[in-house]
Amino acid sequence: MMFKQWLGAVFACLVFISSAKAQLVIEITSGADQLLPIAVVPFAYENVAPLSDDIAQIVEDDLARSGLFQPIPRSNMLSMPSKEVDVYYRDWRLLKSDYVVIGTVQKLQNNQYRVGFELLNVLSQKPVQKHSSIDVGANNLRDAGHYISDKIYELLTGTKGAFSTRILYVTAEGDRKAPLFKLQVADADGHRPQVVVESKEPILSPSWSRDGRNIAYVMFRNRRPNIFIQELATGRRQQIAQFRGLNGAPAWSPDGKKLALVLSKDNNPEIYTLDIATQKLERMTNHYSIDTEPSWEPDGKGIVFTSDRGGNPQIYRLDVSSKRVERVTFEGDLNTRASMTPDGRYLVTVQKNEGNYHIALQDMKTGRVQTLTETYLDESPSIAPNGSMVMYATTHKGKGILAVVSVDGLVKYRLPSAEGDVREPSWSPYFK
Amino acid sequence: MSANKLGKIAVIGLSAAVIAGCSTTASETDSSSVSENGSSTQTDGSTGDSDQAYGAGEDGSLTSVIVGDGTGMDSLIGVETVFYFDFDKSVVRPESREALAKHAAYLVANPEARLVLEGHADERGTREYNMALGERRAKAISRYLTIQGVSTSQVETVSFGEEVPVAFGHEDNAWQLNRRVEARYEK
């Protein structure tokens, strides 16, 4: 009892700390119909006092946010084992939990920690994942949590988890008439935000390189848009496009060698590719209408982009080698900012219908189109590297926020920001 | 701000509802040549400042005009510098023509003068598409000036897309005020 009360006090503290520190707080708005009950038991601290990063809580939050799991509340747990021999399966059957996660935290030398965990099947009374561990630094305990979440998610759903990924987004803070723009990088759950670039002039269109080491973005300088490439770890920055007119919408090719981008130096917006090593620029489209928002297909053979060549903006596909263009979207008053799921099966767009802008999903096989969101002024969809979720920007109570929807439309959550307008999310690839 | 200067700022109640039929078409022309060696044009970093007054109201009335500051722009005193557009359109409105004619005359008379046309869009639609739309609007104004004899080398078009709104509501009035091109003389 004493332990529980004490634990409760610690958790209350943690909630306070995390809400004061975190820029983004998860708010789940709806979930899938069939949720998998799972109990994530608080991890035991073997040779060290409890740490501020509660790894079991991080895992529990990750799994809950996926919309596929129903975590068993800690307050209902009859025991809190940390080793399989101490697990009484009937206790967990009683709580109708299908799976139990147990774990330990052990302090090593040099401010390192070893985090061990096991995943147990309550019905078969056998481990799904036998004891396994990961060593992390004191500042990276959240990484251990996300690593464990990824493992559990993959073991139970068959799909690779994306909890260890990160997001880029832009915030506009302070005086609305003279805001401070910040490009930030954070964990996919919004924790650990770090400012990457800060400017009094607008920043937009952040994009990841395929290895997750570099980013590209558009930032105004002297009231004109420029494209920059920046190494995330060092902050080393390179200005790669500063032509007269538009310099916009950078998108890294799957092989990491090229950037697709939009320039209007030859009069009107066209799609170009830039070979990063040789700096060779190649014009890919040639039409007097607006051509913009290029996004590479997963195999790099095609680029989908927005064009109003048909009268209103729709999505077209450009064959990279032949430069042949064909129209892809036909439903909706307009479709913009397209991107493809990693398996190439679905096309995600911002679709306008009856004056409303929503995130839509088009099945490239059947042509069926589904509207995923019903929030207000939805834009900037970005797909998780496992193809399960789409993060997007929307307006909530007059403020720009980020939200997430699963590709089946069943799971939805918001990441409200503590300060300013949040926009332009970009979901990272897997990190090697 | 002195009373004298205040007096020079002609505050014209510009109704956001002035959406008259437009006859000036702004058809986009295809680009003539494809240049692949990327010689980037970098203009100097100075920005126009004291010679423009911005009065952004959220009540549907808004105007920005040139005020005199003794720099030889007297012929433009009181002339509007912000031009508004219809939703998803880049057609120069008839009410913009008078002011644009004065800007054109000034630019023709002062070949060293440089004008930057900054196009903007409202918040609806995606950001990069709005960047393109803002540019299209700036180019429509630019064309209006060049057909009146202004040298293309005097006019630069830039787009801010939806990134720099002047009105912050999520309704028609605010959107109308944000769909604009701002003319800024650069020294």
Average pLDDT score over chain B: 74
Q: Indicate the residue type of A217.
A: Y
Say if A244 is an interface residue toward chain B (CB within 8 Å).
yes
Run of H or E including A334: strand A334-340
Mutate to test the interface with B, among A244, A281, A399 (most CBs of B within 10 A): A244
Q: What is the pLDDT of residue A241?
A: 87
Tell me the per-residue pLDDT of A338-397, one tens digit each, with 9 for 90 and over: 999 999 999 999 999 999 999 999 999 999 999 999 989 999 999 999 999 999 999 988
Q: CB–CB of A268 and B56 under 8 A?
A: no
Short-list B126, B127, B121, B110, CA closest to B165: B121
Pairing of strands A356-363, A369-371: antiparallel
Q: CB–CB of B125 and A293 under 8 A?
A: no
Q: What is the largest CA-CA distance in chain B?
A: 54
B13: left (phi > 0), else alpha (psi -120 to 50), else beta? beta
User: For residues A246 and A421, what is the distance between their CA atoms, to the nearest angstrom?
Assistant: 24
Say if A283 is an interface residue toward chain B (CB within 8 Å).
yes
User: Alpha carbon A3 to chain centroid distance?
Assistant: 36
DSSP string, A179-196: PEEEEEEEETTS-S-EEE
Contact (Cβ atoms closer than 8 angstroms) between residue B129 and residue B171:
no
Contact (Cβ atoms closer than 8 angstroms) between residue A205 and residue A218:
yes
Q: Which of A242, A281, A352 sits opposite B36 (nearest CB)?
A: A281
User: For residues A239 and A232, what is the distance between their CA atoms, to the nearest angstrom?
Assistant: 15
Q: Which of B32, B36, B126 sits opposite A350 (nearest CB)?
A: B126
User: For residues A382 and A116, what is the distance between their CA atoms, to the nearest angstrom?
Assistant: 33
Q: Kindly tell me if the per-residue pLDDT of B53 is higher than 60.
A: no
Q: What is the pLDDT of residue A419?
A: 75
**Could you give the ipTM of this predicted complex?**
0.89
Q: CB–CB of B170 and A398 under 8 A?
A: yes
Number of C-beta neighbours around residue B149 at 10 A: 10
Pairing of strands A44-45, A99-107: parallel
The beta strands (E) that lie in chain B are given as: 52-56, 62-66, 82-84, 114-120, 155-161, 180-186
Distance from CA of B79 to the nearest CA of A (A): 23
Contact (Cβ atoms closer than 8 angstroms) between residue B99 and residue B79:
yes
Q: What is the pLDDT of residue A420?
A: 86
Q: CB–CB of B36 and A352 under 8 A?
A: no
Distance from CA of A291 to the nearest CA of B (A): 8
Tell me the per-residue pLDDT of A197-248, one tens digit each, with 9 for 90 and over: 999 999 999 999 999 999 999 999 999 999 999 999 999 999 998 999 999 9
Handedness of CA B51, B77, B98, B96 (dihedral sign): positive
CATH number of B3-13+45-186: 3.30.1330.60
Q: CB–CB of A283 and B36 under 8 A?
A: yes
Domains of chain A from N-terminus onward: 22-157 (3.40.50.10070), 166-427 (2.120.10.30)
Q: CB–CB of A377 and B126 under 8 A?
A: no
Apex B66 CA angle, B64 and B71, nearest 5: 155
Of A321-325, B81-85, B103-107, B169-173, the least confident: B169-173
Q: Which of B34, B56, B124 sits opposite A266 (nearest CB)?
A: B34
Of A88-97, A166-175, B42-51, the least confident: B42-51
Say if A349 is an interface residue toward chain B (CB within 8 Å).
no
Residue of A nearest to B32 (CA): A266
The helix/strand/coil state of A303 is: strand
A 114-133 near B (Cβ less than 8 A): none
Average pLDDT score over chain A: 91
Say if A380 is an interface residue toward chain B (CB within 8 Å).
yes
User: In Å, how far are A30, A201, A263, B106 from B36, measured between CA atoms?
Assistant: 50, 29, 11, 35
Contact (Cβ atoms closer than 8 angstroms) between residue B56 and residue B62:
yes
Q: Across the strands, what pairs with B63?
A: B55
Q: Give the contacts of A138 (CB within 8 A, at least 6 positions apart).
A: A51, A111, A112, A113
User: For residues A77 and A41, what is the distance between their CA atoms, to the nearest angstrom?
Assistant: 8
Say if A241 is an interface residue toward chain B (CB within 8 Å).
yes
The angle that helices A141-157 and A55-65 make with each other, rounded to 10 degrees, is 40
Phi, psi for A301 (deg, rounded to 5): -85, -25
Q: Give the contacts of A124 (CB within 8 A, at least 6 positions apart).
A: none
Q: Give the contacts of B2 (CB within 8 A, at least 6 positions apart).
A: none
Q: Kindly tell me if the per-residue pLDDT of B26 is higher than 70.
A: no
Across the A:B interface, residue pairs with CB atoms under 8 Å apart total: 140
Short-list A210, A143, A202, CA closest to A176: A202
Short-list A182, A178, A176, A175, CA closest to A423: A182
Q: CB–CB of A248 and B166 under 8 A?
A: no
Residue of B nearest to A178 (CA): B164
Q: CB–CB of B45 and A286 under 8 A?
A: no
Q: CB–CB of B126 and A306 under 8 A?
A: yes
Q: CB–CB of B118 and A223 under 8 A?
A: yes
